[in-house]
């Protein structure tokens, strides 16, 4: 193993050094980038348009096994016939150069449309055109540029986990040196004047110098590398003042012992590095213990319909899906897991995965991939594996569907971090100039203490730990948010808009009465099977109320948002929905009504008698104290009288609202300054949910997974909406108080440092303690808020 400075990135790494044309490179990424630059006469890697060349002979034939379809099927994540996605583990990902070349593979192979690196996991996810390139081509390309993937048909996640012990080694060396330097400094501390001590004092000082060398050049090297890379990129990061403090202490101490000016500050130097590393170690342990990352066991309130061996349909949570389960996927539902199409006509929209909305037709026996959305009636599929929440969450957070929202805490944190180092360096130099005039003996302590004590880490950690822990707590309470920004947006809401059907009414307790011509047996079967394909709350209610019928495969199914659904089987057709949709005149009945026509002949109507959710009146009366409330319903005014009795005065009630009307209503009020929370279903209300500042889809045994919503709320937790809103505001207040605490800490610490009352070693102890205290405070406070939600 050799250590050297890389010609391309300037990094110093304990890896095998590559020598090319007399130039040293830390890894294949840097070497390849340089080679491509040279061959193509380029100054910028992103101008690269040429191929890196033919596949080297030594790897020809090595990956022939990747031409076998059964092996490809096990390795790829997605395949729609033209686009394939594979996630490859590459152990040799090392530095920024590696990321540059791996994320620009499309310059080397035009069949590659996208490649994304996860540096922490050392993986690259590659999207490529399977009609012009194969998985074998992609792997050979990676190998040819020095990034051989680790390919295993088994689960190789255990192989990816590499516990780095570098920090522990550095901490051990710094601790050992610090202890010995302290021991050798005792005569200096107590000013012992024994002859034999005086005789060996120079030796003791040079021994202290020797002990400090591995501390400065090994244990503290991360601070130097980070500071160097920051300065190289013209960024003043927080490691710049720390590295500067270490350098100043070391040089001053070395000069002191060389010219016999004193014993130097080797005790402060080694102690400083030791406590900085110790603080970093405890920070890592604390963050790991208090980790707020969503794990696979977090609650994700999405239901899916399972068909038992007896043919019984029952809703289950996605986590309960097992390999071999038979699943029913309705129109507009997301496919939660890879599977095989068994029955029905599948038209799958894979825009969730690829960003392209073109539908793909699938036949019985074809493979379906998780993330696709069925767009043409009901299908049945067999699950090939269990659900991976990480994959669903990744789809939900896809940039293709993300809304542009201002995250003020992130903005504030970035602003503080950006200016912080400049201010600290200014204070340090001004304080140094002052003490040079007043008392030069304190200059070193003051300069170093100012650089060390002030740290923006506590400020930077306040928001992610507070909001992140709140995200986890909400998830456990069956309120699942897309990301932490949603909490901040919830805290700013001043207007709440509700849909009526399926939102403030319960699908489980609805009753309906039929008026009209008696339906024939074939019409009843067609009605039941058409309803089976829809996710609309009224469709689900009516489907549950009708008696069991034979399951048939529809020849055609169409769902018209805000109007109704239509099914065709053989020569028979049926329409279910509004009066105008089925071809009759609107009646004056003041109730929720669903009309039916068969083969263009009007048959009758189902009149629904709504059952409102438990605690609705109490919830609205509580919310009305703090928010403007409105109900936008697509139904007629039949429930107006009942709603006026249940809901508080001045609640806006608007009926006969089509999906586009709801969207325009929200747009208008937003232009007037309203911050709107919309609560509805993920189907009819998709446009309104997307337009609102925060959109919540209510889940009641329905697959409502949609990119339009910012959150999913289990229907059983509906009455706790006000508690979730209060908790969001409390979380934001915790962040603000954490900022205040961080600023107070820095101001007080700087006061003692500038006035010469704080030793560098004490500053090194206090700096990480501030970060740990903020993290612990925010975690305890948010956990306390979580207790109130029970």
Q: Are 560 and 566 in contact (CB under 8 A)?
A: yes
According to DSSP, residue 5 is labeled B
Using CA atoms of 749, 752, 758, 763 in order, give the dihedral in degrees to the nearest 10.
10
At 44 the pLDDT is: 35
The pLDDT value recorded for residue 350 is: 78
Burial class (CB in 10 A: 0-12, 13-18, 19+), 225: middle
Radius of gyration of the chain (CA): 33
Backbone angles phi, psi at 300, to 5 degrees: -125, 95
DSSP helix/strand/coil, 587: coil
Give me the pLDDT at residue 14, please: 44
Task: Specify the pLDDT at position 288.
Answer: 55
Look at residues 573, 574, 513 and name the one whose alpha carbon lies nearest to residue 542.
513
CATH number of 300-333+337-389: 2.70.150.10
Q: Which helix (H) or strand (E) holds 238?
A: none
3-state secondary structure of 55: coil
Q: Which of 568, 571, 574 is nearest to 595 (CA)?
A: 574
- Please name the helix (run of DSSP H) or strand (run of DSSP E) that holds residue 597, with its range, or none: strand 592-598
- What pLDDT, on the 0 to 100 scale, is given for residue 45? 35
| 3-state SS assignment for residue 502 | helix
Partnered with residue 381 across adjacent β-strands are: 327, 341
Predicted TM-score of the model (pTM):
0.62
Residue 693 and residue 670: Cα distance in Å, rounded?
Answer: 9
DSSP 337-389: S-EEEEES-EEEE-HHHHS---EEEE-TT-EE-TT-EE-SS-EEEEESS---H
Q: How high is the pLDDT of residue 50?
A: 36
Low-confidence ranges of the chain (pLDDT < 50): 1-2, 13-17, 37, 39-56, 58, 155-163, 287, 291-299, 301, 399-401, 403-404, 406
Q: How far apart are CA 498 and CA 541, in angstroms?
A: 19
DSSP per-residue codes, 200-234 = HHHHHHHHHHHHHHHIIIIITHHHHHHHHHHHHTT
Strand order in the sheet with 676-680: 479-481, 711-714, 694-699, 676-680, 495-499, 628-632, 652-654
Distance CA 440, CA 445 (A): 10
Helices 266-289, 760-788: axis angle to 10 degrees equals 10
- Sequence-separated (6 or more) residues with CB below 8 Å from residue 249: 265, 268, 269, 272, 444, 448, 760
User: Which residues are within 8 A (CB) of 571 and not within 5 positions of it... i.e. 6 or more apart?
Assistant: none
Do the Cβ atoms of 108 and 145 come closer than 8 Å? yes
Q: Where are the domains of the chain?
A: 1-55, 64-151, 166-286+408-465+730-788, 300-333+337-389, 481-502+614-726, 511-609
What is the C-alpha to C-alpha distance for residues 193 and 273, in angstroms, rounded to an integer? 30
How much is the pLDDT for 295? Answer: 38
Pick the CATH number of 511-609 from 3.40.50.670, 1.10.3720.10, 3.40.50.720, 3.40.1110.10: 3.40.1110.10
Residue 217 pLDDT: 94
| Four-point Cα dihedral 145, 148, 149, 152, nearest 10 | 150
- What separation, in Å, do the N-terminal and C-terminal C-alpha atoms of the chain show? 56
Q: Name which of 692, 694, 723 is nearest 789 in CA terms.
A: 723
In this structure, whether the domain defined by 64-151 belongs to CATH 3.30.70.100 is answered with yes
How far apart (Å, rounded) are the C-alpha atoms in residues 696 and 689?
A: 7
Considering only CA atoms, which of 337, 333, 326 is closest in space to residue 348? Answer: 333
**pLDDT tens readout for residues 109-142:** 889 988 887 765 678 889 899 889 999 899 888 8
Q: H or E stretch including 176?
A: helix 166-190
The DSSP code for 724 is H
Q: How far apart are CA 77 and CA 388, in angstroms?
A: 12
Interacting residues of 111 by C-beta distance below 8 A, sequence separation 6+: 128, 129, 132, 133, 137
Q: What does each C-alpha distance from 491 to 157, 296, 495, 626, 780 come to in angstroms?
A: 38, 27, 11, 12, 20
- CATH class label, 481-502+614-726: alpha beta
Among residues 655, 658, 704, the alpha carbon closest in space to that of 683 is found at 704
* SS3 call for 25: strand
**pLDDT score recorded for residue 43:** 38
Q: Between the CA of residue 554 and those of 529, 539, 566, 571, what are the distances in Å?
A: 8, 16, 10, 11
Q: How far apart are CA 159 and CA 137, in angstroms?
A: 24
pLDDT at residue 292, rounded to an integer:
42
């Amino acid at each position: 193993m050799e250590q050297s400075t890389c010609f391309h990135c300037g990094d110093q790494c304990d890896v095998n050094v590559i020598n090319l044309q007399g130039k040293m490179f830390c890894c294949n990424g840097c070497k390849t980038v340089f080679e491509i630059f040279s061959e193509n006469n380029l100054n910028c890697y992103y101008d690269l348009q040429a191929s890196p060349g033919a596949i080297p002979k030594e790897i020809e034939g090595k990956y022939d096994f990747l031409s076998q379809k059964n092996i490809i099927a096990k390795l790829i994540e997605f395949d729609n016939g033209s686009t394939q996605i594979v996630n490859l583990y590459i152990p040799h990902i090392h530095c920024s150069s590696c990321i540059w070349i791996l994320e620009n593979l499309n310059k080397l192979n035009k069949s590659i449309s996208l490649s994304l690196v996860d540096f922490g996991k050392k993986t690259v996810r590659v999207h490529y055109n399977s009609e012009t390139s194969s998985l074998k081509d992609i792997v050979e390309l990676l190998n040819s540029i020095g990034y051989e993937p680790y390919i295993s048909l088994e689960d190789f996640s255990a192989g990816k986990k590499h516990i780095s012990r570098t920090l522990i080694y550095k901490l051990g060396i710094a601790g050992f040196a610090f202890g010995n330097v302290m021991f050798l400094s005792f005569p200096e501390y107590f000013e012992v004047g024994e002859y034999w001590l005086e005789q060996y004092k120079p030796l003791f000082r040079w021994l202290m110098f020797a002990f400090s060398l591995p501390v400065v050049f090994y244990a503290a090297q991360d601070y130097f590398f980070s500071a160097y890379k920051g300065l190289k990129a013209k960024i003043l990061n927080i490691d710049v003042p720390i590295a500067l403090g270490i350098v100043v202490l070391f040089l001053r101490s070395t000069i002191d012992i060389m010219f016999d000016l004193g014993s130097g500050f080797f005790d402060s130097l080694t102690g400083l590095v030791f406590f900085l590393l110790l603080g970093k170690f405890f920070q890592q342990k604390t963050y790991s213990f208090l980790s707020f990352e969503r794990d696979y066991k977090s609650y994700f309130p999405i239901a899916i319909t399972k068909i038992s061996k007896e043919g019984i349909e029952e809703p289950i949570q996605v986590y309960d899906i097992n390999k071999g389960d038979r699943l029913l996927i309705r129109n507009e539902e997301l496919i939660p897991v890879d599977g095989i199409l068994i029955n029905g006509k599948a038209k799958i929209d894979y825009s969730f995965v690829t960003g392209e909305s073109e539908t793909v037709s699938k036949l019985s026996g074809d493979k379906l991939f998780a993330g696709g959305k069925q767009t043409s009636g009901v299908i049945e599929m067999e699950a090939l594996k269990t659900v991976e929440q990480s994959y669903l969450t990744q789809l939900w957070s896809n940039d293709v569907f993300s809304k542009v929202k201002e995250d003020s805490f992130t903005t504030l944190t970035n602003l503080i971090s950006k200016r912080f180092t400049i201010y600290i360096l200014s204070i340090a130099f001004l304080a140094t100039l002052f003490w040079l005039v007043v008392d030069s003996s304190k200059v070193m302590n003051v300069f170093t203490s100012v650089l060390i004590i002030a740290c923006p880490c506590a400020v930077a950690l306040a928001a992610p730990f507070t909001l992140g822990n709140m995200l986890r707590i909400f998830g456990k309470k069956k309120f699942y948010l897309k990301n932490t920004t949603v909490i901040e947006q919830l805290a700013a809401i001043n207007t709440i808009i509700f849909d009526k059907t399926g939102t403030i009414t319960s699908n489980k307790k609805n009753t309906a009465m039929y008026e009209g011509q008696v339906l024939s047996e074939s019409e009843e079967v067609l009605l039941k099977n058409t309803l089976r394909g829809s996710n609309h709350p009224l469709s689900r209610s009516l489907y549950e109320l009708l008696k069991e019928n034979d399951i048939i495969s529809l020849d055609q199914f169409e769902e018209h948002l805000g109007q109704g659904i239509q099914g065709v089987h053989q020569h028979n057709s049926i329409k279910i929905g509004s009066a105008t949709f089925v071809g009759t005149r609107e009646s004056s009945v003041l109730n929720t009504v669903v009309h039916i026509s068969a083969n263009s002949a009007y048959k009758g109507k189902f009149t629904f008698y709504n059952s409102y959710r438990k605690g609705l009146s109490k919830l609205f009366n509580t919310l009305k104290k703090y928010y403007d409330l409105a109900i936008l319903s697509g139904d007629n005014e039949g429930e107006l009288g009942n709603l006026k009795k249940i809901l508080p005065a001045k609640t806006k009630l608007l009926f006969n609202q089509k999906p586009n009307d709801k969207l325009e209503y929200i747009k208008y009020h937003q232009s007037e300054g309203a911050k709107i929370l919309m609560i509805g279903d993920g189907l009819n209300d998709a446009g309104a949910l997307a337009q609102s500042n925060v959109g919540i889809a209510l889940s009641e045994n329905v697959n409502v997974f949609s990119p339009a919503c910012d959150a999913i709320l289990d229907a059983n937790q509906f009455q706790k909406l006000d508690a979730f809103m209060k908790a969001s505001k409390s979380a934001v207040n915790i962040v603000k108080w954490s900022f205040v605490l961080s600023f107070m800490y820095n101001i007080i610490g700087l006061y003692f440092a500038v006035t010469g009352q704080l030793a560098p070693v004490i500053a090194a102890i206090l700096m990480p303690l501030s970060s740990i205290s903020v993290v612990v405070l925010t975690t305890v406070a948010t956990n306390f808020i979580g207790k109130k939600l029970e």
